[in-house]
Structure formats: structure tokens, C-alpha cells
Amino acid sequence: MNRSYPHFAALILTGLLLCACHLPACAQDKLRIGVTLHPYYSFVANIARDRAQIVPVIPGEVNPHGYEPQGEDIKRALAVDVMVVNGVGHDEFVFKIIEAAGRKGSLPLIYANATVAMIPISGDSGGEKIVNPHTFISTTAAIQQIYEIARRLGELDPRNADFYRNNGRDYATRIRKLRAAFMQRIAARPKDDFHVATMHAGYDYLFQEFGLRISAVIEPRHGVSPTARQLARTVEEIKAANVTVIFAEKYFGGQLADMVRRETGVRVYTLSHITDGPFTADKFETEMGENIETLARALEGR
């Protein structure tokens, strides 16, 4: 793990000083659940409802990719009883925060992806197979994570185990309905001629569950702009694969997507990464619903 050692050492010292005033979690009536990403806030909010307090460990408006922990993050980490984490590459910052708070090995962690079948990042230029951490941009993988979080919360808080399990089941049913509506809508639409490119590999799980193939990925790594040579090669791949649609990230990557559109004539749609803005209980359902609607419109040619 790469670290800026002076900055990290300062965080460790801050954490040790703050530990002196940290009250034991058992002194509180409600379980205090830390979360690292917006989808996990939505998952936990719908599972626990008013039986727990949810604490986002970093501000909602920051980009979790490459995030460097701040002193306030350590205070939040000291105030939780358990932390829900992605743990496969999308929230590496949280492990720095936990270590700086002096809670490495003592803070219970719920690895949301414990039961999810991982896939490698598509289009990665590094040569090695790297696990794709964007499991939350999917309905199928999201449901698996919802069940895992509900199960683990029940183990940590047995008095509310049935409550968590039932809420998780109800929430998963709503997510499943999003997928069912999409499948019914495009059931008669042939997908063999639907060739797409994506700005980055963040949507691999979403496309996989709907049986859609990604022909090209523009960014060599998420957030890393391609070189002129890489971009030229990708443009040629897009033309050769008869790609007609590019999916860019909502709010980001617009200029690059427009450049590719001008070179290839493809249509551009945007999908949400579900990792920006206010933390809300309905964020995952709302933005995943918008993503599915966008996919349907692209398949319908609208």
C-alpha cells in the first residue's frame, strides 16, 4: 500500500491522542455502523432503519479513488462499532483511517463482497488480472451484499437480527424488481448487434448481469486518461468492433467521450457511479434505476 509517510505518521499520532477520549461502543443503545461508500449507506439504511446510527467515514462529495485520510475521518472511525467496507480496491483509504485510529484488528469489519463472485477489470492495460471492485454497480451483486451485511449485522447485534434479515429481504425484493422490469422491457430486443464501449471498467458487473458485452474500454485505468497513442488504438478498436454506443460516467469524462464520438460517430450515454453527493437511503435505488433506464433507452436506440 502506497503511503505519504509524514502525512500518515501525523494521522497515527492524531488517532492515538483521540483514543484517550473514546467511549466504549457498548455504552450506546444503538449500533453505530461506519460505511465507506454511498451504496453501503443506502444498503445499511434500509436494513437497519432506525435501529442503528450510520456514520459515513468520509464526506459524500469527495472522490474515493486516491482519497487521503483526514483528521476528521479518524474521529468518525473512533465513533463506530463496526465498519462496512468494499475491501477489494474501492475504499483502500479506510484501512489507513482504521490504522491511524489505533483500531486495526479490534474494529469489526463487514466485507460486503464476501459472497460476491468477482470478475477481473476489463480493458486494463497492466497485463495482470485485477479484481474489479465496482460490485455495487449491479443489482445481482448488490442483493448478495445486502444479504451479507444483514447477516453480519445480526451476528453483531443479535437482538435485532430478525429485524435486519427481514428488512434486507424486503429491500432486495425492491432491487430485484428493477432488474425484472428491465428484462421484461428489452426481452424481445436482440442484443447480439449491441456493441458498446465504456469510459472505464466500472460497469462490468452491470453489463454482465444483463448479458451485454463490452467491446472496448477507453481509460486504461479508472481516472487515468489515455495517452494519444492509447486513444488512437481504442478508436480503431471501436471502429473495428462496430461499436455504436459509448457509456461515460455521469458528471465526469464528458470531453473525452465527446472526442471519441466525433472520431467514431457513436452515440454517448451516461451512467452513474453512485459514489458522489449526499448520503441517502434511496440513493442506490434511484441512481441504479436511472442506470437501468439509460441502458434500456440505449438498447431501444433512443
Decide: residue 85, CB within 10 A, 0-12 exposed, 13-18 middle, 19+ buried.
buried
Report residue 51: phi and psi, to 5°.
-90, -5
Calculate what percentage of the chain has a pLDDT beyond 90: 60
Q: Where in the chain is the domain with CATH 3.40.50.1980?
A: 5-177, 186-300
Report residue 42 as a C-alpha cell. Answer: 443506502
What cell does 153 get? 449485522
Q: Please, are residues 41 and 283 in contact by the beta-carbon 8 Å criterion?
A: yes
- For residues 272 and 290, the answer to whether their CB atoms sit within 8 Å is yes
C-alpha–C-alpha distance, residues 214 and 203, integer Å: 9
Count helices and strands in the chain by DSSP H and E runs? 10, 8
Residue 45, pLDDT score: 98
Lowest-pLDDT range, 22-26, 106-110, 251-255? Answer: 22-26
The correct CATH number of 186-300 out of 3.40.50.1980, 3.40.1160.10, 3.40.50.1860, 3.40.640.10 is 3.40.50.1980
Task: Kindly report the average pLDDT of the chain as a whole number.
Answer: 87
Residue 116, pLDDT > 50, answer yes
Categorize the per-residue pLDDT at 5 as very low, low, confident or very high, splitting at 50, 70 and 90. Answer: very low
Q: pLDDT, tens digit, for every residue of 56-81?
A: 999 999 988 888 999 999 999 999 99
Q: Confidence band (pLDDT; 50, 70, 90) for 27?
A: very low
Q: For the chain, give the percent of residues with pLDDT over 70.
A: 85
> Which pLDDT tens digit goes with each residue over 243-254?
989 998 887 666
Kindly state the DSSP code that residue 27 receives in the 8-state scheme: G
- Helix 161-185 and helix 38-48, axial crossing angle in degrees, nearest 10: 120
Q: Do the beta carbons of residue 270 and residue 290 sit within 8 Å?
A: no
Instruction: Indicate the class that CATH gives domain 5-177.
Output: alpha beta
For residue 301, what pLDDT band results from cuts at 50, 70 and 90? confident
More confident: 174 or 13: 174
pLDDT over 50 at 153, yes or no: yes
